[in-house]
Structure 1
Amino acid sequence: MATLTDLTIAQATAALRRGDMSAVELTQAHLTAAETLNPRINAFISLTPEVALSQARAADAALARQEGGSLTGIPLAIKDLFCTAGTRTTAGSRILGNFVPPYESTVTANLLRDGAVFLGKANLDEFAMGSSNTSSAFGAAENPWKRRGEEGTALVPGGSSGGSAAAVAARLALGAMATDTGGSIRQPAAFCGVAGIKPTYGRCSRFGIVAYASSLDQAGPIARTVEDCAILLKSMAGFDPRDATSSAREVPDFQASCERSIKGLRVGIPREYRLDGLPAEIASLWEAGIAWLKEAGAEIRDISLPHTRHALPTYYIVAPAEASSNLARYDGVRYGVRQDGEDLKDLYERTRAAGFGPEVQRRILIGTYVLSAGYYDAYYVKAQQVRALIKRDFDQAWGKVDAILTPATPSAAFGQDEKQDDPVAMYLNDVFTITANLAGIPGMAVPAGQDAKGLPLGLQILGRPFDEETVFAVARNIERAAGFTALPTLRAAA
């Protein structure tokens, strides 16, 4: 049997049920790996070995009774944006540095119901605002991959779910929970050479997830394979009466859909995604992806999504506006870190100045500006109108195609000291991913190749609302054709 930390979720589940190993052994292997490597890559803000081993012992007891759920004994990393009862939840921010929730998010409760083991809370950009995981108040997470010949250069794992992706890639967890507001699952998955899916808005409950932009936020999994993502999403998803945007649609068997044939499937290639200056390596990988799908029997069609060019400015009006509203609750009075002041106004100002980092402050200021009197109609209302047009582009495309194939990112992972001084350059990292959030559709990133320096590159599959099954089917075909087996430099047992 492979090293315990090299197993997939599907393999580990089968091995646990055969009795080839115990859940405690599997969990301890990952805890040992995390304790060894996490001081270097900082993928976890908090490790919870006592909690994990207690859950693993309960999993072994369930397995001994021939009971248990789909994730019994499977060790996972939980993005530190999900509230976990009795375990510190920080959102990567100083202002929530000491917050211990008294309740469990719906998504994590679903995972616990199915027997999962929680290793700890994964690092992220502060309040999920970022594309590099460098804005965390608990230090930057590091990508376990290295450029060939530049082993001393620390690369970003992507963001905001950088810790989740780094933990999975480095073999510190079999899978991870993440969230995606503008690409925060798919971009780090692509940067770290793993798979990740943002499901349809409403597929997973947002209850108990610290909010960034409520009309865009959606939970999803990161794992090493498409099949593992399907297993995790099946557990995570479902209706929740505590979330008014949660869908009551039945949750399909996503794992079974991974083996569906795509013969005759119509796959769209949006011409607007062929950006000027797109690196040749990414353009070439995209063409390879098109060829792989043709070989599998798919029909490739050229399509147009004309309002794509407005997606970035639309997103960076809508998301900061919602963030400005959501983060108003962090005032030092009700919960979180407090800075004393001479009066209430001074207390608010000191608390928020000390508690929020520069990127969060920037987005709050942008959001407050576009919502202010005299600018609301000119910016926020206009952005919502353009957002409706972006969604309409996709609605019209679904009359011609069943799925859409694009690059996942406009580049491979970059250095921690690169691009950080240019917020606009950082925002451009989301150019291929944000349309899925604005339109509320599912999108998945799959590792499919490497650049000239050995860094992973990903392809993205977009699908109709609540048609994750087709997304998984296409993604699995790409995964099979690409045969991506490269491993990061920094990993457990490496």
Structure 2
Amino acid sequence: MKDRLAKAEALNPEIHAFIRFTPDVAMAQAKGAEARQMAGTLKGPLDGIPIAHKDIYETAGIPTTGHSRVLEHHVPKADSAAVRAWADAGAVMLGKLATHEFAFGGPSFDLPWPPARNPWDTARFTAGSSSGTGAAVAAGVILGGTGSDTGGSIRGPSALCGIAGIKPTYGLCSRMGVLPLSHTLDTVGPMAWTVEDCALLLQALAGHDPADPSSANRPKPDLLSGLNGGVKGLRIGVIRHFHEQDWPVSAGVAAGIADVARVLQAQGATVTEVTLPSLQDFNAAGWLILAADAFAVHEPWLRTKYRDYGEFLRERLALASTISAADYVQAQRRRRELNDAVAKVMEGCDLLLTAAQPSEAPLITVPGKWTSFEVANFTIPFNLTGQPALTVCAGYGEGGLPVGAQLIGRPFEDATVLRAGHAYEQATTWRARRPVMAG
């Protein structure tokens, strides 16, 4: 584990994935895992593997800042449910990972820590907000890490960084102890190099938590026993108009989506085209709800610590303050209509397929403070519906940069989504390629 920490520390000046390292915690947990291995009492497949947590996951005795000056000195007294779950499984925490400020404002250059950079090209963006997790996994310094997904913050960085990441079904995993952004959309989940690793990490996170009001009171799912079951007989609906008409994607992304459809069809899946309401309709409702919820969370601090926020988040929240109650109610009404439309389509499909990001990673200086509202988002529709959605690496496009595709399943059919993503990975060679890092 010393070598792993040394590699992470050596690469961090390039990619800024970590806000802080936790070497004492890591070495203590690693020694415990080593002792269990020697005694033949390993806890399971996560025992001893290196992970890290997005810095909105509270960690007892270790600062949890949300990548913000507002909470720069905040030291929680207890671990979040997710941190506790992975520690109980024996995972070794190397540190806390960069995020967009409070999972909404970034990439910002006026905060106490710089934004994470993409290991495939450090002049490029990682997407957000789980930016540090995407960078650290792609660079190979951790096997997996926590992300959070309110409008696509697991799936976006996974696409641009060339890794796997799943937004589980809303309510499948406890959000207890995670700094909130939107109480009606927030979802926690894992990011890792492979879908199989995501499944292992999610298995430890999933389950009912009475301490979280949003937690679904359902039996703990089995996400692993059917992982190698293949896709024969599955019905996959390609939402072609999302990425061809509503917001045309780059040639590389289009080729990646087509490759996923072709590979899964060759393995026995049925692939058809489906139609949903326009991507812009989902974006209008989704961003209005997200922004209003975010303002409700931050309104008390905005009154007393307005200038402590970075410019991007400060002005996004100021805009959100102008949303009326009527606007919010109408957006929630439209959300129900959109959800009904998706549910109707899912009656004839086991999975949906579309883009996860519109292009390969742009330069980190390109996204502006309003880019999130201006560029169509392929991921937020499935935050509105609460469905499980997985990003897989679907090849490499312009400049050798990774491209991602998104697979979406029915609520609480996370295992099916993981099974299809794993089948695609097993049938392709994309996982054999890593970014070349100087460290």
CA distance in 2, matches of 1:170, 1:270: 32
CA distance in 1, matches of 2:351, 2:169: 14
**1:363-400, Cα deviation, whole Å (9 max, x unpaired):** 32232211xxxx321x1111111111121122111111
CA distance in 2, matches of 1:114, 1:266: 35
Please tell me the residue identity of whatever aligns with 1:270.
I
**1:59-109, Cα deviation, whole Å (9 max, x unpaired):** 222223322322211110110000000111000100000100001101111
CA 430–126 in structure 1, closer or farther in 2 if over 3 Å, else same: farther
RMSD of aligned alpha carbons: 1.7
> In the alignment, what sits opposite 2:250?
279
Which of 411, 415, 419 is equivalent to 2:367? 419
Q: Aligned pair 1:52/2:26, yes or no? A: yes
Please tell me the residue identity of whatever aligns with 1:414.
P
> In the alignment, what sits opposite 2:36?
62
Q: Note if contact 2:257-2:394 (Cα within 8 Å) is conserved in structure 1.
A: no
> In the alignment, what sits opposite 1:338?
none
CA 52–253 in structure 1, closer or farther in 2 if over 3 Å, else same: same
> In the alignment, what sits opposite 2:377?
431
> In the alignment, what sits opposite 1:342?
none
Q: Aligned pair 1:382/2:330, yes or no? A: yes
**1:433-481, Cα deviation, whole Å (9 max, x unpaired):** 0011011111000011111310000111000000011101111122123
Q: Which region of structure 1 is more displaced relative to structure 2, 241-250 or 268-277?
A: 268-277
> In the alignment, what sits opposite 2:92?
117
> In the alignment, what sits opposite 2:262?
291
> In the alignment, what sits opposite 1:360?
313
Classify the secondary structure of the residue corresponding to 1:154.
Answer: coil
Classify the secondary structure of the residue corresponding to 1:256.
Answer: coil
Classify the secondary structure of the residue corresponding to 1:257.
Answer: coil
Q: Note if contact 1:133-1:156 (Cα within 8 Å) is conserved in structure 2.
A: no
CA 323–74 in structure 1, closer or farther in 2 if over 3 Å, else same: same
Q: CA deviation at 1:270?
A: 1.5
Classify the secondary structure of the residue corresponding to 2:392.
Answer: strand
CA 74–134 in structure 1, closer or farther in 2 if over 3 Å, else same: farther
CA distance in 1, matches of 2:119, 2:265: 33
Q: Which runs of 5+ in 1 are unaligned?
A: 1-26, 147-152, 332-347
> In the alignment, what sits opposite 1:144?
119
Q: CA deviation at 1:277?
A: 3.5
CA distance in 2, matches of 1:359, 1:143: 20
Query: How many equivalent residue pairs?
Result: 435
Please tell me the residue identity of whatever aligns with 2:434.
L
> In the alignment, what sits opposite 2:435?
488
> In the alignment, what sits opposite 2:346?
398
Structure 1 segment 6-25 matched on structure 2, within 5 A: none
Structure 1 segment 93-492 matched on structure 2, within 5 A: 93-130=68-105, 132=107, 137-146=112-121, 154-273=123-242, 274-275=244-245, 276-330=247-301, 348-349=303-304, 351-353=305-307, 355-370=308-323, 375-377=324-326, 379-420=327-368, 423=370, 425-427=371-373, 431-484=377-430, 485-490=432-437
Q: CA deviation at 1:134?
A: 5.8
CA distance in 2, matches of 1:107, 1:144: 26
Q: Note if contact 1:169-1:491 (Cα within 8 Å) is conserved in structure 2.
A: no
CA distance in 2, matches of 1:460, 1:271: 12
CA distance in 2, matches of 1:491, 1:236: 34
**1:7-63, Cα deviation, whole Å (9 max, x unpaired):** xxxxxxxxxxxxxxxxxxxx2221010111112211000101011101111122222
**1:335-372, Cα deviation, whole Å (9 max, x unpaired):** xxxxxxxxxxxxx44x222x2112222232232211xx
CA distance in 2, matches of 1:116, 1:129: 28
Structure 1 outlier segments of 4+, above 3 Å: 130-137, 425-430
Q: Which region of structure 1 is more displaced relative to structure 2, 359-368 or 235-244?
A: 359-368
CA distance in 2, matches of 1:133, 1:254: 37
Larger radius of gyration: 1
Which of 43, 57, 62 is equivalent to 1:82? 57
CA 488–184 in structure 1, closer or farther in 2 if over 3 Å, else same: same
CA distance in 1, matches of 2:11, 2:259: 35
Q: Note if contact 1:321-1:366 (Cα within 8 Å) is conserved in structure 2.
A: no
Please tell me the residue identity of whatever aligns with 1:376.
A
CA 448–277 in structure 1, closer or farther in 2 if over 3 Å, else same: closer
Q: Note if contact 1:267-1:300 (Cα within 8 Å) is conserved in structure 2.
A: yes
Q: TM-score, normalising length from structure 1?
A: 0.85
Identity value in percent? 37
CA distance in 2, matches of 1:309, 1:429: 10
Q: Aligned pair 1:29/2:18, yes or no? A: no
Q: Aligned pair 1:38/2:12, yes or no? A: yes
CA 135–396 in structure 1, closer or farther in 2 if over 3 Å, else same: farther
CA distance in 2, matches of 1:207, 1:471: 25
CA 128–116 in structure 1, closer or farther in 2 if over 3 Å, else same: same
Q: Note if contact 2:54-2:98 (Cα within 8 Å) is conserved in structure 1.
A: yes
CA distance in 2, matches of 1:93, 1:368: 20
CA 135–262 in structure 1, closer or farther in 2 if over 3 Å, else same: farther
CA distance in 2, matches of 1:252, 1:29: 35
CA distance in 1, matches of 2:40, 2:149: 36
CA distance in 2, matches of 1:306, 1:39: 44
Q: Note if contact 1:169-1:192 (Cα within 8 Å) is conserved in structure 2.
A: yes
CA 491–133 in structure 1, closer or farther in 2 if over 3 Å, else same: farther
Classify the secondary structure of the residue corresponding to 2:348.
Answer: coil
Q: CA deviation at 1:329?
A: 4.1
Classify the secondary structure of the residue corresponding to 1:405.
Answer: strand
**1:398-443, Cα deviation, whole Å (9 max, x unpaired):** 11100011121101111111132x61x3445561100110111110
